[in-house]
């Protein structure tokens, strides 16, 4: 499957090194890490080692890492947890914001808060899908939280989160939070929580299955001074912010995946960028429009459309040939399967309906080869020719 899989932004294959590290904790080492006897202490050591690995990969302190079961949970913990903390501490401000292009696991908890009385607004992006600094300074001064994703999961466009965080924090009161969903950025773009935090970013989210790790392990990395209330109460695990017996095997795998995801990142970025250029040169030669082409993007992500060609039809025909790519409808707005991200960028809905996303593998395990890209190009060429012939007859 790996040679025909081009949807790495959705999930990645499990790295064999990660699986090897996980296996002992799926068998003989099954103890509860809260137990005080030897086996429990061994499980606890494994969890804490993984915490150190995640922290090292993100240039953070281990005490800043809170494990969750998914990126969605981590984003909800940050948004709902911060809002609950504000109300608990008697804050009177109710203004929250995110960008128009956020993943639903950021947008939906904010919409839920809006239904309970919070004032929630969406920050616009430019035609390249990038948030401009002026959008942060234009937010009302009593805005207490804003979330801006580090890298868009559809277009791959990178946001200047350090600059945006600094702009948001300027002249605002202490009870504010700037958060970035960095799930797509880890392992594809350098991340330093220490530097981001200094600039004004209070928290970021990462997830294991996007970097060759297992599903079921993610983390919220946050400034220890940031007030948060838990979503789940119980045993008080994860500094009281995420109760529940830890998924030791998945956490161990997540830690190993983080270590491997940041190793030789510059070299892997260059390799992926060359493949991206090769692919996009061919796409342009066939008349494709590449979205966010003028923006700084992830080196593995191409979001494009062929005018007059339906994206979902193209995805379906390629699937029959064993080629796995995604359509723009995966995170759509609900309007005829059109990408909400592209609509926010001002793209014509007819063109946006043709969007397809090709995301290449660039983790140490599962990296896409030039041969695989050429096979995809060959199948794309055949399918496009077929669809264009049908269109001409019609």
**Known catalytic residues?**
331
The burial class, CB within 10 Å (0-12 / 13-18 / 19+), for 377 is: middle
Within its chain, how far is the Cα of 57 from the centroid? 16
Alpha carbons 153 and 186: distance in angstroms, whole number: 12
What is the H or E stretch that residue 16 is in? helix 16-22
DSSP strand pairing (301-305 vs 143-147): unpaired
For 20-69, the DSSP string reads HHHGGGGTT----TT--SHHHHHHHHHHHHHHHHHHHHTT--GGGEEEES
Which residues, 6+ apart, have CB-to-CB distance to 95 below 8 Å? 118, 119, 120, 121, 139, 140, 142, 143, 144
Backbone angles phi, psi at 331, to 5 degrees: -115, 45
Does residue 77 sit in helix, strand or coil?
helix
- At residue 339, φ and ψ (nearest 5 deg) are -60, 125
Query: Environment class of residue 354 by beta-carbon count within 10 Å: exposed (0-12), middle (13-18) or buried (19+)?
Result: buried
Long-range contacts of 233-241 (CB under 8 A, 24+ apart): 235/34, 237/34, 238/66, 238/67, 238/68, 239/63, 239/66, 241/66, 241/77, 241/81
Angstrom distance (rounded) from CA 100 to CA 298: 19
- C-beta neighbour count of 107 within 10 angstroms: 21
Q: Which residues contact 208 (CB under 8 A, 6 or more apart)?
A: 214, 215, 216, 217, 218, 250, 253, 254, 257, 258
How far CA 267 is from CA of 80, 257, 258, 299, 392, in Å, comes to: 38, 17, 16, 12, 44
């Amino acid at each position: 499957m790996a040679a025909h899989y081009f949807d790495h932004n959705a999930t990645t294959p499990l790295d064999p090194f990660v699986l090897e590290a996980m296996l002992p904790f799926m068998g003989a080492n099954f103890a509860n890490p809260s137990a005080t006897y030897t086996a429990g202490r061994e499980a606890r050591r494994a969890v804490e080692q993984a915490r150190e690995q995640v922290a090292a990969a993100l240039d953070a302190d281990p005490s800043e890492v809170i494990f969750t079961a998914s990126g969605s949970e981590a984003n909800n913990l940050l948004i709902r947890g911060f809002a609950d903390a504000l109300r608990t501490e008697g804050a009177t401000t109710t203004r929250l914001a995110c960008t128009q292009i956020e993943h639903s696991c950021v947008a939906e908890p904010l919409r839920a808060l809006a239904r309970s009385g919070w004032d929630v607004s969406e920050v616009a992006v430019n035609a390249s899908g990038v948030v401009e600094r002026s959008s942060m300074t234009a937010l009302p001064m009593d805005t207490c939280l804003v979330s801006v994703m580090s890298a868009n999961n559809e277009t791959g466009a990178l946001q200047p989160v350090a600059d945006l965080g600094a702009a948001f924090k300027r002249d605002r009161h202490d009870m504010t939070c700037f958060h970035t969903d960095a799930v797509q950025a880890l392992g594809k773009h350098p991340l330093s929580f220490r530097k981001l935090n200094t600039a004004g970013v209070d928290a970021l989210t990462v997830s294991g299955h996007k970097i060759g790790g297992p599903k079921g392990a993610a983390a919220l990395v946050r400034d220890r001074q940031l007030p948060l209330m838990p979503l789940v109460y119980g045993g008080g695990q994860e500094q009281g912010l995420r109760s529940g017996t830890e998924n030791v095997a998945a956490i161990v795998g997540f830690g190993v995946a983080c270590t491997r995801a940041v190793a030789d990142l510059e070299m892997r970025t260059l390799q992926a960028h060359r493949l991206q250029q090769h692919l996009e040169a061919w796409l342009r030669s066939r008349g494709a429009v590449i979205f966010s082409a003028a923006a700084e993007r992830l080196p593995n992500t191409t979001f494009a459309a062929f005018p007059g060609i339906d994206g979902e039809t193209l995805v379906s025909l390629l699937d029959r040939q064993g080629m796995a790519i995604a359509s723009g409808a995966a995170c759509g707005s609900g309007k005829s399967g059109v990408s909400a991200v592209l609509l926010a960028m001002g793209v014509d809905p007819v063109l946006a309906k043709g969007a397809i996303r090709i995301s290449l593998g660039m983790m140490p395990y599962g990296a896409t080869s030039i041969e695989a890209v050429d096979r995809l190009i060959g199948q794309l060429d055949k399918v496009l020719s077929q669809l264009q012939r049908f269109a001409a007859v019609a």
